[in-house]
A and B are shown apart, each in its own frame.
Chain A
Amino acid sequence: MSENEVKNLEDIFEARIARDEKIEPKDWMPEKYRKTHIRQISQHAHSEIVGMLPEGNWITRAPSLRRKAALLAKVQDEAGHGLYLYSACETLGISREELYDQLHTGKAKYSSIFNYPTLTWADMGAIGWLVDGAAIINQVPLCNTSYGPYARAMVRVCKEESFHQRQGFESLLKLCKGTPAQKEMAQDALNRWWWPSLMMFGPTDDESTHTEQSMKWKLKRKTNDELRQQFVDQTVPQAEILGINIPDPDLKWNAERKHYDFGEINWDEFWQVVKGHGPCNKKRIKDRVGAWERGAWVRDAALAYSDKKELGEQTESKIAS
């Protein structure tokens, strides 16, 4: 294809996106669009799968049967999100094995928040309330993103995430209305999860490398800083209902801006965790790689068995004919 022809295709492609048309797997797309989407969708899928680990950590210790069932259901939802996000990603011409390999070798990233440990039961509530809350703010705009399979997956993901967020808040509310020990547990969880939750929106706008192109492709509708502000504004009144304190002495309402001002994020910590040196980075990957390696004989068996069955059916149909 000549350079002119490619340019022409690109113009048609960009015009379709500008008209809010969905791009489907068999449509022509620029290589950069395909690669960017593989990166973002797989990163999202990996986050769901790695995110199962810190929450799975409390399934066996959940304090009541009702909470145990709810946590099991939640982690199962996350596995389901992983499954359809991987499927969406596979439509871009990459296999699940390649995607896992990128996760296991550290080539692909996942949400850094899951590199923090879950130390108490209250962390389950805090993850639902803050982490899923932040995820929803990041993800709702993606329901209208330009790549069809991703947009459709996100509609379902967002519905379930919003249920998880309410469930997390309700679980913390129970602690906050409970004994002093329970309330202290909730406060401690907020202290540990608040700043990492703010970091979920990524670097500040002047440091963010992907924003402009992503905006054009509707992978992003608002900047990192705008989304972070939206999260703070939404969450502060919820903390007031809970009656626990956000660990930021600089947090205050700015009547002029009609937004909350908040303190400086510790960007050294942010980059340390992103670069693989957070409290649980090594453990999370070790757990994923371990599960994958321990499961190799199981996957081999399933494949061998289905080959045998297929061969059997072919032989039967030959005999019949």
Chain B
Amino acid sequence: MDNLYNYILTIADNCLILGQRLGELCGHGPSLETDIAVTNISLDLIGQTRSYYQYAAEIEGKGRTEDDIAFLRLEKEYKNCLLVEQPNEHFGYVIGRQYLWDTYHYLFLSELQGSADEILAAIAKKAIKEVSYHKRFSGDWVKRLGDGTNESRGKMQEAICDLWPYVDELFDMTGVGTDLIENRVAVDLSALKEAYYEQVFELLSEATLDVPERKYFIYGGKKGVHSEHLGYLLTDLQYMQRAYPNMEW
């Protein structure tokens, strides 16, 4: 059961951290329409997080709640990948991070729908409908920014290059017990890799963007070794629960 609990966190923490990052942007987007879309994606991700954590709390069986899991862990106990915690430097980064994540997320959920664990399969079935919209939104914007003006192409390319080192960690199997793979509960991430790179290369090329150098990648988030950005994100996230412990809201 420990393995399953940990496995759920490796999925859900990504949704929580990215949902939180996007929540920072509310009211500050480049247009009202993008503001609404980004808030909506954040809301979807927080909703998915809740479904996963509620299930995790249940199988842990220690009487903890979704909020205990979301708010009361140490930084190294969060198992999200480094990509999703990267900051909102400018809208190109927001879109780049989103597209690189959504493409993975969609492939991942497509497989998780067939999980032998019925609850995970059900969460995936619901989430994939939302994520197919996220992917369309972020992919369309990569194309607009890449193939828009010279300035926007430069900014989009900058974001893709800066975020690229974090991409390969998506397929790292840390936190996925071999028993879960054997029992067909967990998704074999290495099997998603080829389709992922194929789709991303195709879209980047359509967006007139260069595919960055693939040689050097950075890993760590899934082991709890994060970038310097996560601590600040958690400071905001956890503020109320830390300042007013053991209360209901």
Contacts and interface: CB of A to CB of B under 8 A. Distances in A.
Interface of A: 49, 52-53, 56, 59-69, 72-73, 75-76, 79-80, 82-83, 86, 121, 171, 174-175, 178-179, 181-182, 287, 290-292, 294-306, 308
Given A65-B46, A65-B50, A80-B36, A72 B29 contact: no
A53 B148 CA distance: 29
13 contacts: A49-B32, A59-B23, A59-B26, A62-B240, A68-B23, A75-B27, A79-B35, A181-B247, A296-B30, A301-B145, A301-B152, A303-B148, A304-B148
Given A72-B26, A75-B26, A291-B27, 13 more contacts: A56-B26, A56-B28, A60-B24, A61-B239, A61-B240, A65-B53, A69-B46, A121-B249, A179-B247, A291-B28, A294-B30, A296-B30, A298-B34
B60 to A, nearest CB: 16
B2 interface: no
A60 B29 contact: no
Contacts of B161: none
A75 B20 CA distance: 15
Nearest to A306: B144
Contacts of A62: 240
A303 B30 CA distance: 13
Contacts of A179: 244, 247
Contacts of A86: 32
B236 interface: yes
Contacts of A82: 32
Contacts of B111: none
Contacts of B29: 291, 295
A72 B144 contact: no
A247 B172 CA distance: 58
B247 A65 contact: no
A244 to B, nearest CB: 17
Given A52-B26, A79-B36, A291-B30, A308 B249 contact: no
Contacts of A64: 67, 71, 249
B138 interface: no
A72 B22 CA distance: 10
A302 B66 CA distance: 39
A181 B245 CA distance: 11
A181 B243 CA distance: 11
Given A61-B240, A63-B244, A305-B143, A69 B50 contact: yes
B144 A305 contact: yes
Given A56-B26, A79-B39, A294-B30, A301 B144 contact: yes
Given A65-B49, A178-B248, A60 B36 contact: no
B144 A302 contact: yes
A114 to B, nearest CB: 11
Contact of B149 (A61, A63, A72, A304): A304
B203 interface: no
A76 B33 CA distance: 10
A305 B34 CA distance: 16
Contacts of B233: 60
